[in-house]
Amino acid sequence: MSSTPAPLFTLLHEHENGYDRGEVDHFMARAREAYDSGRSMALSEIREVSFTLGAGGYSPVEVDAALDRLEDAFAGAERDRFIAQHGEDAWYEQLHQRSQPLRRRMERAEEQRFREPANASALGYRKDEVDQLCRQLEQYLDGENPMSVDEIRTITFTSVTGANAYDEAQVDVFLDRMTEIMASVG
């Protein structure tokens, strides 16, 4: 008698699109094995993983939330290993060094923090919304504005074109790096 393992996440009905169960199970098994053995997994690998969408499958909402928790767990483990080897002061110094390129970008003038889309008709993120977030993140780094890493993970910006837009890819890379730092703080 063969037994099918219990699904890791809610399985959707065939008329709903979900993440491919095999792909998710494989990724989660690799992540669990890495975590349990004390190995690291690149936070960018967790953040950038994608799964095929199809009829049925796992609930994307549940899987995405689990990926956020997984990123936090690996960031915390990385932090703990570093502190055990080098001390807490060295950890905070490393975070400070990693945040400096981001801080320099945030200190740029309004509407000049990121490049505009290469094509004037291409969509980008609305500059004033991104600039507002940058001001909040600067305050966060200064210890003046408590923020959650989930606020960055879930933020959305209005899409616009032309001179009112920042290049989406450049802003996304910035937000990924900021997410890594915030997840590392714990």
> Residue 41 — pLDDT band, cuts 50, 70, 90?
very high
User: For the chain, how far is it from start to end, CA to CA, in angstroms?
Assistant: 45
The Cα 19–Cα 63 span in angstroms is 8
**Joined tokens for residue 172:** 């996304």
- pLDDT tens digit sequence for 137-177: 999 999 998 999 999 999 999 999 999 999 999 999 999 99
Q: Which helix (H) or strand (E) holds 106?
A: helix 88-106
Sign for the CA dihedral angle at 118, 175, 29, 31 comes to positive
Q: Which two tokens stand for residue 96?
A: 């400070």
Instruction: List pLDDT tens digits, range 56-108.
Output: 999 999 999 999 999 999 999 999 999 999 999 999 999 999 999 999 999 99
The 10 Å CB-count burial string (b at 16+, else e) for 130-143 is bbebbeebbebbee
pTM of the model: 0.79
For helices 127-141 and 168-185, give the axis angle rounded to 10 degrees: 20
Position 186 confidence tier, pLDDT thresholds 50, 70, 90: low
Strand 17-19 to 165-166 pairing: unpaired
The pLDDT value given to residue 130: 98
Would you place residue 4 in the very low, low, confident or very high pLDDT band (cuts 50, 70, 90)? Answer: low
What tokens were used for 109? Answer: 């003038």
What local confidence, expressed as pLDDT, does residue 30 receive? Answer: 96
Asked if residue 98 lies in contact with residue 49, where contact means CB atoms within 8 angstroms, the answer is no
- The DSSP call for residue 113 is S
DSSP, residue by residue, 5-47: PPPSSPBPPTTSEEE-HHHHHHHHHHHHHHHHTT----HHHHH
